[in-house]
Structure 1
């Protein structure tokens, strides 16, 4: 979830500073009382209400993989995720998980779908699509169903 903008935060605090009751400010802006208290505390202690940095370490490998995987995809379009990970490890010396590789490929918009203009199968259909090919289905005696269903006048 993204943080509210600094402009929004300042508007909330301006409404409080101009004398509007907290309950009315909360209802007007659609925020909680605890959020309003946090904004007031942050302004009092830090002198601003800028959004804080998202905790956690930044991804280290993701940008490298996204930047360098496109030539590998173009050269080896039919390779599996595991094969792409192995190729990445051979060329770059870093091991990359399947999930990291999958996300990088997805962000690039690369799809594994084959084109419809490709080679057609050499096998011929014996019947049109949707036709029933099993003779046993046609020869089944369905009379047991008719005896169970009452006929209404």
Structure 2
């Protein structure tokens, strides 16, 4: 798996960087295909805190719908659709959010909505 932005490097790479302690920073960075600043920061963290592992990543962005979570919890337990919840949040609280954001908030609250019965019946089901 290739490294992606916002994702920590693997522990094996961290261990290889830290194992090359006496070598110059530039050589280690070039040989292991990481930036020199990564090598410096990793060595400094080991020296200052003794930690070799990546810390858990945390989302520092507060929820846009945080002030109205209790209202959402009560309304979502009724037969409200996501579109209705979005319309109410905009009308009552001035918070305009996308369909996906509303779903994520409902999932975080542990709530599920009923799927409407407007879908066509399956062709593979026995009739």
TM-score (norm 1): 0.44
Report if the CA contact (8 A) 2:86-2:98 is conserved. no
Tell me how far apart the structure 1 counterparts of residues 116 and 28 of structure 2 sit (CA, whole Å): 52
Aligned to 2:84: 79
Which residue is equivalent to 1:147?
Answer: none
- C-alpha distance 31-114 of structure 1, shift in aligned 2 (>3 A): farther
Change (3 A) 1:82 1:100: same
- Judging changes above 3 Å, is the alpha-carbon distance between structure 1 residues 12 and 114 closer, same or farther for their aligned structure 2 residues? farther
Where does the alignment leave 5 or more consecutive residues of structure 1 unmatched?
A: 90-94, 118-153
Alignment of 1:1-153 (within 5 A): 1-14=6-19, 16-17=20-21, 22-52=25-55, 54=58, 56=60, 59=63, 61=66, 68=73, 70-72=76-78, 75-77=79-81, 79=84, 81-83=86-88, 85=89, 95=93, 97-99=95-97, 102-105=100-103, 108=107, 115=118, 117=120
Q: Which has the larger radius of gyration?
A: 1
How many residues of Structure 1 are paired with residues of Structure 2 in the alignment? 104
Maintained 8 Å contact 1:42/1:48:
yes
Give the structure 1 partner of residue 3 of structure 2: none
Structure-2-length-normalised TM-score: 0.50
Asked if 1 retains the 8 angstrom alpha-carbon contact of 2:45 and 2:51, the reply is yes
Asked whether the 8 Å contact 1:81–1:102 carries over to 2, the reply is: no
Report the Cα offset of residue 35 of structure 1.
0.9
The answer for unaligned runs of 5 or more in structure 2 is 1-5, 121-127
